[in-house]
Amino acid sequence: MLSKLISLILILCCLACPRPRIRQMPPNDACFQSMSLKFNFSDRQGKHNGRIHWRFDEQHSKFLFFTPVNQVGLELDVAGETSLLLRPGKKLYWRGDFSFLLRHLWGIELTLQELKQLLVQGLIPEAKIREKGIAVSLETDPENRSPKIVNIRQSDAILTLKVLKNETRPGTIVLLTYDQRFQAAEIADVLADD
C-alpha cells in the first residue's frame, strides 16, 4: 500500500513539472494573410457555390476549396502566376497559368495579382475590365473600408465572392512538391466530378 502511495506521489510530481514549449518563430517578423471566402457562380451551364480558404504572402498563395461536407476537394498552390491545381481524392494535378485556370473555372479573365488587389484593397483593374468587358461592383465594410462582397461579371459568367474572415498571421506560405505523389492530368480531368 505504501509503495502504491509513493508511486502515485512520484507520478503527480512528474506531471506537475512544467514542460518546455517549443515555439517556432517565423524569420524577420514575416506574416501572411488568411481569408475565408464564400463563392456563388452562375453561367449558362448552371450554378455552383462553395467555400474557399485562401492564404497568401508576397510570393505564394494557397487556396483550399471545400466540398459541401467540409472536406478539401481541391487545393490550388500558386507561385507568382504559375498554378498547381491538386485533386487529393484522385491524386491528380495540373500545372499552368493562373488566369487560364480562372477563365476555365469561372469564365473570368483576371491574374492572381489583380484578384488579390480586388479582394484585399478594393482596387479595380480599370484598363483590364474595359479591355475584356468585365463588370465589377464592390460592397465595402463601413468600419475598415475593406471589400466584403465582390461581384464580377464577364459575358454570361457571374461570380460573387463574399469575404467572411480576413486576418494577418505570423509566418510564411510554404508550397510543397507533389510531382512524385500525384499524377499529371488535363485540367478537365482534375476538375471533373465523380
Phi, psi of 43 (to 5 degrees): -150, -165
38-80 pLDDT per residue, tens: 999 999 988 989 999 999 998 999 999 998 888 999 999 999 9
Whole-number Å distance between alpha carbons of 90 and 69:
17
User: In the structure grid, which three cell numbers stand for residue 193, read together?
Assistant: 466530378
For the stretch 74-121, pLDDT in tens is 999 999 999 999 999 899 999 999 999 999 999 999 999 999 999 998
Residue spans of the domains in the chain: they are 26-191
pLDDT for 10 equals: 67
Q: The pTM is what? A: 0.80
As a whole number of angstroms, the distance between CA 48 and CA 37 comes to 14
| pLDDT above 70: residue 21 | no
The CATH number, out of the four listed (2.50.20.10, 2.60.40.10, 3.90.1150.10, 1.10.10.60), of the domain defined by the range 26-191? 2.50.20.10
Give residue 30's pLDDT. Answer: 84
pLDDT, position 138: 92
Stretch (H or E) spanning 112: helix 112-121
For the segment 118-174, what is each residue's pLDDT rounded down to a tens digit? 999 888 888 888 888 999 999 988 887 889 999 999 989 999 999 999 999 998 888
